[in-house]
Amino acid sequence: MGNIFIIGAAGKMGKWFFEYFYNIKYKSNSIENINDLSVGKIFLYDIKEIEYSSSYKDVDIIIANSISESIKLSDVVIFCTPVNEIINIINTNADFFRSRSILIEISSVKSTIHRILSDISTDRDIVTLCIHPMFGPGASTVISTNKIISIPVNKNKSKLEKDIFNKIFPNFNKILIENPEKHDLAISVVISLIYFINLVFSKFLVELSDSKEFKFEDNLMEFFKKISGSTFKIQSLLSESILTDDVSLFLTLFINNDKSIITIKKYHQLFNNLLDKIEKKDQEFIKKYVLSTRNDIKKDIDINRSYEMLYKFLNS
Amino acid sequence: MGNIFIIGAAGKMGKWFFEYFYNIKYKSNSIENINDLSVGKIFLYDIKEIEYSSSYKDVDIIIANSISESIKLSDVVIFCTPVNEIINIINTNADFFRSRSILIEISSVKSTIHRILSDISTDRDIVTLCIHPMFGPGASTVISTNKIISIPVNKNKSKLEKDIFNKIFPNFNKILIENPEKHDLAISVVISLIYFINLVFSKFLVELSDSKEFKFEDNLMEFFKKISGSTFKIQSLLSESILTDDVSLFLTLFINNDKSIITIKKYHQLFNNLLDKIEKKDQEFIKKYVLSTRNDIKKDIDINRSYEMLYKFLNS
């Protein structure tokens, strides 16, 4: 692969990709099928301090001072920054990409960036990968079940894009989504909505701690953890976990993905509807609602197995 | 303990308690500290068929035809039915409880039933336990970390209540909550709200399957499972799991617990507020919202540890 340049290296996913390529460079883990991949220098750039870099005393790991200079020296440039910054950097540095180099971007919203990638891939002799890792920075850099979505960019280079994607991520679970619109719509459900619900849940718990009704407990969080069972444990673990993500991810999900607001509003409408029936104590409606939802979900999913899986986790 | 009578034995928690007492009776598992507990006959009653009972060929396990006759013969009567039914049964059978017998009820909402228990405990020579198992029917009948909340009923019998509770559930994690109002308020957060959010989430996924935008996928659930990462997996497992519960639990949580509507509305207000800011693309507000929520949560909780725990589960 030659030299690698990670832009946004201080962020959590930047660090993940650094470790991934570092492991490939030194074959220091058991990733299969990577023996034909060779990594030269690894350039790291960020406007923030790249804290982990100080623990690597290695002439091949270089903190870059200039984006353009490092782009000129690199065969693979990977963007781990918010979309707006990717666009800025590409616009001001398009001339510096090496011929036949590879540009990878991993953002969570694709509609805008996909057009930019498409343009540069058409205009120049470079290959662009529009991918979305469906795992967080806590994921192993070895485990092969990590999922990555890819969206084809340039029809005339589709085989090249596919070959390079397979070469760089040989053992991953690779999922193709045909176009950026479909990607953004799906992401608005499987990420944005869930981040929204859980962010509000955390905020709700914080506000509750200050509320009159709950003043009987000095440490309300501790009280809830102490008395609660499985459902609260899972929901709060999830809502705490999403808070470890970079703030820029929340902004990308909520503001840059224009499908998110539509999706969240759809959920909101159902929320309002059920809340209204509960206020009216409409027992028959709620009964039918639970039963019909259960029946509909059961058409596709073995809910008893889901229950067992959760309990397996909780008992572990 | 003598004879046990389980009312509502066909339900999931009824079955759980049957297994718990059956294991004690035959010392067939490794529960410690139960050697001094002896179980005589086990009477089972339900208006529905008690399916599991047919696999026990045992003269000491008896399907009861009459509630009153079985109450007369029992030393422990445990109610695993909705609150309204507990009240009906107690009202029509109060005269039949044995002197010094034990009445246990396990419902998820306590304000009303606590008064009834208090009355019968004052009027008669029986001991009442107002408890709430904070685990589902999938929990082991052996593992000692199962949590049970108890609420004291009768001040003049508080030592008796405590001793009996400890005797019957020696190895459980027992949590005392001072009064039924505090119980119902806490439950509205740790159960009702979470059931509500997840029930709406399941309904949302069902409705999405029928929507225009997603008609590109024949099996939308499968598509989401295929492309999604950790957050969706956890949220959907949770929302599927709660659907395995009896419908009566949802009604109890949403309608009988009058704190639930207040709690859900509080969450709803925060939901509306954040949604509004997203519609207005108020980047600064969202940034501060995420940061301040994270800081507040971090005062009480190690969110990195929560994240690691979730990933440990997902990688397992």
ipTM: 0.91
- Residue in chain B closest to A279 (alpha carbons) equals B261
Find the distance separating the first CA and the last CA of chain A, reported in whole Å.
Answer: 42
A185, A232, A247 member nearest B194 (Cβ): A232
* pLDDT of A282: 97
Q: What is the pLDDT of residues B162-180, one digit of tens each?
A: 999 999 998 889 999 999 9
A177, A222, A268 member nearest B271 (Cβ): A268
Strands A127-133 and A147-151: antiparallel
Q: Which helix (H) or strand (E) holds B292?
A: helix B283-300
Give the whole-angstrom CA distance, residue B221 versus residue B243: 16
Angle among Cα B303, A210, B277 to the nearest 5 degrees reads 70
Average pLDDT over residues A142-155: 88
Give the whole-angstrom CA distance, residue B308 versus residue B132: 30
Q: Identify whether the C-beta of residue B44 lies closer than 8 Å to the C-beta of residue B3.
A: no
What is the spatial order of strands in the sheet that A102-105 belongs to?
A61-63, A39-45, A2-7, A76-79, A102-105, A127-133, A147-151, A173-176
Q: What is the pLDDT of residues B197-244, one digit of tens each?
A: 999 999 999 999 888 888 888 889 999 999 998 899 999 999 999 999
Structure tokens at A138: 């806590």
User: Domain A2-178, what architecture?
Assistant: 3-Layer(aba) Sandwich (3.40)
Residues of chain B with CATH 1.10.3660: 181-280
Residues of B in contact with A241 (CB under 8 A): 231, 303, 306-307, 310
User: Domain B181-280, what architecture?
Assistant: Orthogonal Bundle (1.10)
Structure tokens at A281: 């104590």
Ramachandran quadrant class, B253 (left: phi over 0; alpha: psi -120 to 50; beta: rest): alpha
Residues of chain B with CATH 3.40.50.720: 2-177
In terms of pLDDT, which residue wins out, A143 or B45? B45
Q: Are residues A190 and B222, on separate chains, in Cβ contact within 8 Å?
A: no
B209, B221, B300 member nearest A219 (Cβ): B300
Nearest in space to A266 (alpha carbons), one of B222, B205, B263, B192: B205
* pLDDT of B29: 57
Residues of B in contact with A231 (CB under 8 A): 190-191, 194-195, 198, 238, 241-242
- Up-side HSE of residue A238: CA atoms within 13 Å toward CB? 30
* pLDDT of A29: 58
* pLDDT of A286: 98
For the ranges A288-297, B48-57, B150-159, the lowest mean pLDDT is seen at: B48-57
In terms of pLDDT, which residue wins out, B141 or B57? B57
Q: Identify whether the C-beta of residue B106 lies closer than 8 Å to the C-beta of residue B80.
A: yes
Facing residues of B151 across strands? B130
Q: Are residues B266 and A208, on separate chains, in Cβ contact within 8 Å?
A: yes
Candidates A191, A238, A292, partner chain B, best to mutate (most B CBs within 10 A): A238
Q: What is the pLDDT of residues A101-126, one digit of tens each?
A: 999 999 999 999 999 999 999 999 99
Q: What would the CATH number be for the domain defined by A181-281?
A: 1.10.3660
Residues of A in contact with B296 (CB under 8 A): 206, 209
* pLDDT of A227: 93
* pLDDT of A242: 95
Give the whole-angstrom CA distance, residue B70 versus residue B43: 7
Give the whole-angstrom CA distance, residue A127 versus residue A100: 7
Residue B94 CB burial class (10 angstroms; 0-12, 13-18, ≥19): middle
CA A119 to chain centre: 24
Q: Identify whether the C-beta of residue A10 lies closer than 8 Å to the C-beta of residue A50.
A: yes
Q: Are residues A227 and B265, on separate chains, in Cβ contact within 8 Å?
A: no
Residues of A in contact with B241 (CB under 8 A): 231, 303, 306-307, 310
B191, B236, B293 member nearest A203 (Cβ): B293
For the ranges A201-210, B21-30, B305-314, the lowest mean pLDDT is seen at: B21-30
Q: What is the pLDDT of residues B264-290, one digit of tens each?
A: 999 999 999 999 999 999 999 999 999
Nearest in space to A104 (alpha carbons), one of A135, A128, A132: A128
pLDDT at A315 over 70: no
Residues of chain A with CATH 1.10.3660: 181-281
> Which superfamily is assigned to B2-177 in CATH?
NAD(P)-binding Rossmann-like Domain (3.40.50.720)
* pLDDT of A137: 82
